[in-house]
Amino acid sequence: MSPLTDKGKKVLKSMKKEYGAKKGEQVFYASINKGKIKGAEKKR
């Protein structure tokens, strides 16, 4: 897992609130991998 930007932290918090802790994290990273969320992870 890459470190998250402020935007990424905000989106992850929102998804955890909506889907629950474990499922929210799964949905968050799946969305990044699919390309739905841009700028959530810091560049390597």
Q: Is the distance from CB of 11 to CB of 40 less than 8 angstroms?
A: yes
Please report whether residue 26 resides in a domain. yes
Please report whether residue 21 resides in a domain. yes
pLDDT at 44: 77
Residue 41 forms beta bridges with which residues? Answer: 4
Work out the angle between the directed axes of helices 21-34 and 6-19 (0-180°, nearest 10).
Answer: 130
Q: Is the distance from CB of 2 to CB of 12 less than 8 angstroms?
A: no
Please report whether residue 16 resides in a domain. yes
- pLDDT tens, position by position, 1-44: 779 999 999 999 999 999 999 999 999 999 999 999 999 999 87
pLDDT at 2: 79
Q: Is the distance from CB of 4 to CB of 41 less than 8 angstroms?
A: yes
Please report whether residue 11 resides in a domain. yes
Domain range for residue 14? 1-34
Q: Please give the tally of structural domains in the chain.
A: 1
Q: What is the pTM of this model?
A: 0.85
Cα-based distances in Å from 25 to 18, 22: 11, 5
